[in-house]
Structure 1
Amino acid sequence: MKRLIAVFVVALCFACNEEAKVDYTLFSGKIENPKDLKVTILKGREKVKEITLNNNGTFADTLKVEAGFYSLSHGGETSAIYLSPKDNINVTLDTEMFDETIAYTGAGSQNNNYLAAKYMANENANIDIAKLYSSNETEFLSAINDIKNSKFKLLKVQKDLNPEFVSIEEKNIKYDYLSFIQNYPSAHKYYSKNEAFIPSPEFMKPLENLDYKNQTDYTSVESYKNLVKNHYVQKIGEADSPTEVFEFINKEAFPELKNDLASTLQYRIAPNNDDNKVYYEGIMGLSSDEKFKDNLTKDYNKIQKLVKGMPSPKFVNYENHKGGTTSLDDLKGQFIYIDVWATWCGPCIAEIPSLKELEKKYHGKNIAFVSTSIDVESAHDKWVKMVNDKELGGIQLIADNNSKSQFVTDYAINSIPRFLLIDPDGNIVSADAPRPSDPKLIELFNELNI
């Protein structure tokens, strides 16, 4: 009888231990000056959970997640976070200074306070990308080594970080460094205006023996994922026969990489791409997402109608920053150069100085310069302020339904900035015109005798 009781007690203890096993994260916090009714947790672009705020801006919920990197999103702002089971994280922030005020307490907070500090360190470093990539190989390597060392230094001074998290961050820093090298040839050509540039073999050596098939790092280290995707995107772009590269990837790559590449490469299907058919067929072969493929097919068919000489899609009654509304037909009789942009888009803002110069150069000519913001409704005031602060010229409009506006949809715009050129009769000259900073735009204007 005693033996039976002992067995029962052991079994009961085992059951208790099983019940006590925690496989979730407790996530709570408070948002001052909330811009929305919810906080969203994302894994990449996939929504993990939406948590509703209480009236006082507080929230709390449990998250069934695997250890890894996620994003906290609220009111159009996002912040990187690291979550793992058994964490009990509390976050506080003020949306008036989102990144500067975000702070974490509780189990797992150290990892996230480091990520917040890392983001601010990157912001405060204020790296001049144009200057960096314009520099010669020796200067460039010296600069990116300094960047790498400063990142390692910040990581080293942190206390009580999760060892697995530290290992991933060390890899992130290493792969970020390699990404700089990977991007240098094309970026140097662009920023130095030297299209004939070829990097020295010695410069590219760090990438020679890199393993692009490490599935473990691909799923856990974001900078490695970016490095691998960019590697294959470059291979396809440089190939004499992109079809062969697509076939190789389809045969050799693991499913997640193939789907990610399909998602990344969809933006290469554009009105001015002579290889649209090859890209479309290649991407369709890579993706296993039927919804994605349906949407890609719709966009591909749409792009067939955006060739030179076809009637342009139209926008009607877009709000004009100067007051009233403007429609495309109001501008008929002149060439129309349209910049589709948003206040949150860094590359869009980088084109503003060149666009201003262009407007000045062609002032009084038979061409209208139109900037159409696709900012969401909640960012309307931000749009008004940026137009004023940056003294933007031309015709400043905001779309009627942000990125879902019919005009944007009809032009198959899935990334910005995007520039359009329409002739005086309302027909398409280019549905993907050169940027203001690209000398090819002036060549195009000259061809049209603008």
Structure 2
Amino acid sequence: MKLFIYILCIAFTLISCGKNSCKYAIIGGEIINKNTDYVVLFDSKDVIDTLKLDGNNRFSYQIDNLTPGFYTFRHGGEIQMVLLEPGDSIMFRLNTFDFDESLVYTGKGAKKNNYLINDFLKSEKEEKQVFKLCQLPPEDFQTQIDSIKAIKIKNLDLYKEKHNTSALFNKIAKANIVYDYYTSKEVYPFVHYGRNKKKIIEALPDDFYSYRETINYNDEFFKDYFNYTSFLKRSFNNIALEKHIQHTKSPYNIWMNCCYNLDKMAAIDSLVHNAEIKNELLFHYGMKFLSKNKKMEDNDRVIKYILSKSTDKKNNDRLITYNQSINKLKPGEFLPNLQVRNIQNDIVFINDLINKPTVVYFWSHLYKGFFEDSHKRVNELTSKYPEVEFISVNIDDYSKDRWITTIKSKKHILLNEYIFETPDESVKKLAIYPLNKAILVNHNRKIVNGHANMFANGFEEELLGLLNR
């Protein structure tokens, strides 16, 4: 009955709201397998409201004096964007076990959003195809991605003609195609099989990156949109590479080269004047560098540069705290003794679980495939190195019931499954970024490697070294 009344209200809104008379939009949703009891609605990065789910896990909200554009909703750590224009009345339905893939919109304004979410999912799959194309010579590669772009433009034109789409939708849908195309070109030197990046860059046609002259690196409208921000990150990787190879003696293994990363940040400072975009890019690159670099003096140089350019105090403090945590995870230091909860709902200290060589690894519901991949990898390693203990810890800061449901629903669950009791504090103390990080600890609970990766080449040699200590 409640659902019938909800649909009736939406229908009344559609009838009563004339073509140009509405200055508001309605968004509602139903969450299957909810993670929390609420949804948070954002305008850009500002919270509009926190919306409590009813007894049927549904909500509805009217945004008055609507500014046409992107709005973001967050539920249990998952986020997605929705395009709203005056007069829209959108209802979505999603299953948290398959967040993006299950998302479906209905109501006025639904078609454009279903188009955009499907386009997003297709682009994710297309990336693997583009990586394969990157092995072609540059001229052949360009021909292939030009063809992909042309097909997308043709399909979009047909869609626009059929559905009489708005100028705002047309702008966004076209930008998706263009930025995907530009991103493909920016990744080429990095994915191409050659290790000597200087030779790859020098072999490119002179006009390969001529489109950069038209790029707005300070686009206020798209600054929070995935395709645009993804392009910017790939682009600055490449712009810095072109500069770096001019003064480096070794065009190999550039990612953890401090000079290359400082070149990247200098390029951002030169081209990006929008403070929000600049701050986010500097933070992104800073965290990536700190998470993989092992030289403290280089970390200090990168942080010093970022602090001289970034005006985002919160992100700057996060970088400093992250670096401090890294320094406390050096070999020989004791593993921080944090509280975790087991499947029986008992709270224990993590160090009480360690009495032999141990690998502590982490996962989150936000990265569904990583749970499967990491546990499969641990099953393989356990059979080869039975003397090593593997401890799995979930880092999510919402519903422990969801964690228990996930654990009990999996076929190949291991015995040592835990979740942090205080996730925010624990993630900071263990400097868990990126998620594929693992910590190697000896039988005395002392750290052997605080920043290992179970999927990296040489990890099994590290396990042998751990056992031979």
Counterpart residue type for residue 228 of structure 1: L
Report if the CA contact (8 A) 2:291-2:433 is conserved.
no
Q: Which residues in structure 2 correspond to 1:302-321 (within 5 Å)? A: 302-320=325-343
Question: For residues 224 and 128 of structure 1, what CA distance do their matches in structure 2 show?
Answer: 15
Which structure's CA Rg is the greater one? Answer: 1
Structure 2 counterpart SS, 1:431: strand
**C-alpha distance in 1 between matches for 2:104 and 2:146:** 29
Does residue 356 (structure 1) correspond to residue 386 (structure 2)? The answer is no
Task: Name the SS for the 2:156 alignment partner.
Answer: helix
TM-score by length of 2: 0.74
2:112 is the counterpart of 1:111: yes
Q: How far does residue 50 in structure 1 lie from its aligned partner after superposition? A: 2.8
What is the Cα deviation at residue 431 of structure 1?
A: 1.6
On the 8 A contact 2:41/2:49 being kept in 1, the answer is yes
- More off after superposition, 348-357 vs 195-204: 195-204
1:431 paired residue number: 450
Residue type of the partner of 2:399? S
Mark the CA change 1:449 to 1:251 in structure 2 (over 3 Å): closer, same or farther: same
Query: Which of 395, 402, 416 is the matching residue for 2:435?
Result: 416
Q: Deviations over 1:330-368 (max 9, x none)?
A: 3434221111111321562344433332222212x2x21
Q: Say if 1:290 and 1:263 are closer, same or farther in 2 by CA, change over 3 A.
A: same
Kindly indicate whether the alpha-carbon contact (under 8 Å) linking 2:77 and 2:366 is maintained by their aligned counterparts in 1: no
Aligned-residue offset at 1:67 = 3.2
Q: How far 1:384 sits from its partner (Å)?
A: 4.2
Distance 1:426 1:187, change over 3 A: farther
| Residues in 2 aligned to 1:59 and 1:32: alpha-carbon distance in whole angstroms | 12
Residue aligned with 2:308, SS: helix
Is 1:262–1:284's contact at 8 Å kept on the other side of the alignment? no
- Looking at structure 2, the residues matched to 413 and 397 of structure 1 have their Cα atoms a distance apart, in angstroms, of 15
Task: Return the offset for 1:372.
Answer: 0.7
Residue in structure 2 matched with residue 338 of structure 1 by the alignment: 360
Separation in structure 1 between the aligned mates of residue 130 and residue 361 of structure 2, nearest angstrom: 25
Alpha-carbon distance between aligned partners in 1 of 2:145 and 2:263, rounded to the nearest angstrom: 34
1:384, 1:320 → 2: CA distance?
10
Distance 1:277 1:442 in 2: 31
333-342 vs 34-43, which deviates more?
A: 34-43
CA displacement at 1:287 relative to structure 2: 1.5
The percent of aligned pairs where both chains have the same amino acid is 20
Closer/same/farther in 2, CA of residues 148 and 50 from structure 1, 3 Å limit? farther
Q: How does 1:41-80 map to 2 (within 5 A)?
A: 41-43=41-43, 45-53=45-53, 57-64=58-65, 66-80=67-81
The answer as to 2:227 corresponding to 1:226 is no
CA gap of 1:204–1:447, structure 2 versus 1, over 3 A, is farther
**1:291 Cα deviation (Å)?**
2.8
Query: Closer, same or farther in 2 for the Cα pair 1:67/1:178, shift >3 Å?
Result: same
Alignment correspondent of 1:440? 458
2:280 corresponds to 1:260: yes
TM-score normalised to the size of structure 1? Answer: 0.77
How far 1:279 sits from its partner (Å)? 1.7
1:4 corresponds to? none
Aligned to 1:39: 39
Task: After TM superposition, give the deviation of residue 280 of structure 1 in Å.
Answer: 0.9
Shift of the alpha carbon at 1:306?
2.0
Cα displacement (A) at 1:171: 2.1
SS at match of 1:269: helix
Candidates 162, 165, 172, aligned match of 2:169: 165
Q: Give the 5 Å matches for 1:281-292.
A: 281-292=304-315
How large is the Cα RMSD of the aligned pairs?
3.8
User: In the superposition, relative to structure 1, how do residues 101 and 432 fare at CA in structure 2: closer, same or farther (>3 Å)?
Assistant: closer
Mapped partners of 1:386, 1:142: distance in 2? 47
Is 2:303 the partner of 1:280?
yes
Q: Which amino acid aligns with 2:417?
A: Q
Does residue 401 of structure 2 align to residue 400 of structure 1? Answer: no
Q: CA deviation at 1:195?
A: 5.5
Distance in structure 2 (CA, Å) of the matches to 1:303 and 1:23:
53
Shift of 1:62: 1.6
> Unaligned regions of 5+ residues in structure 1, if any?
1-20
1:136 matched to which residue of 2? Answer: 135
Distance 2:232 2:146 in 1: 21
User: Which position in structure 1 is the counterpart of 2:247?
Assistant: none
